[in-house]
Homo-oligomer: A and B are copies of this chain.
Amino acid sequence: MELALLYSGGKDSTLAALLLDEFYDVTLVTGTFGVTDEWEHARDTAETVGFPFERVDLDRGVARDAVERMREDGYPRNGIQRVHDHALERVAEREVDAVADGSRRDDRVPTVSRAEAQSLEDRHGVDYIAPLSGFGRGAVDRLVDATLELDVGPSDEIHRADYEGELRALLADRHGPEAVAEVFPDHEQTRVTGVRE
C-alpha cells in the first residue's frame, strides 16, 4: 500500500516513517510555499534515512493568512495548525492509499481530531494515519534515542522543513525581524543526521 508521510526532516516524522516502513510503501513528502529552499533539508534527510522523497507545492495565500494570524495572536499555534491542515489536504489529493503525519499524543499543535481525520478520509478516499499519536512524549524521546542520530541546536540555526523557516521569512518580510522574535520564542530544534544500526 502506498503511503505519503508529511515530512520535516525532524525526529518525529522520521520516527513515524520507521514505524510505518514495514507495512507501507512510504514516500516522504515535504510541503513548500516557495518562500525559501528549506524543503531541500528534508530531501537530504530523507535520502540519509533511505526513503523516497517528493515535494508538494503549497498555496502561498495560506502562508500569508497564517502569518497574519500568528502576528495577531502573538504566538504561532493557530497559524501552524492552518498550514498543517492545508498540507494534509494537498497530500491527500495524491494517488495514495494512505496519508500520515508525525503528530504525537502530547502535541498541542498540530493536532488532527478524530472528526477531522474521518472527514479527510471520506472526502479523499484515503486512510489518515498518525502512527505516533498513541505514544506520549517520554516514549517518543526514548524511541528516538534508541533509533536516530540527531543534531540539536537553536531554532534559528538548525534548518528543517516544518514550515517554521518559511513562515519566519514571510513574517520578517511583512512585519520586520522583531515580529519574528515576538511570535517565535527561541527553542531547541533537532535535525536527524542518521539511523542507528
Contact = CB atoms under 8 A, between A and B. Distances in A.
Interface stretch (A5-13, A37-45, A68-76, A133-141): A133-141
Contacts of A78: none
Interface string A46-83: 00000000000000000000000000000000000000
How many copies of this chain? 2
A129 interface: yes
B23 A146 contact: yes
Interface size class of A (residues with CB under 8 A): 20 to 34
28 contacts: A1-B142, A1-B146, A18-B22, A19-B19, A19-B131, A22-B22, A23-B143, A23-B146, A23-B147, A98-B139, A105-B117, A105-B133, A106-B114, A118-B136, A121-B136, A121-B138, A127-B135, A127-B136, A127-B139, A128-B136, A128-B139, A129-B134, A129-B136, A131-B131, A131-B134, A131-B135, A133-B133, A133-B134
Interface of A: 1, 18-19, 22-23, 97-98, 105-106, 114, 117-118, 121, 127-136, 138-139, 142-143, 146-147
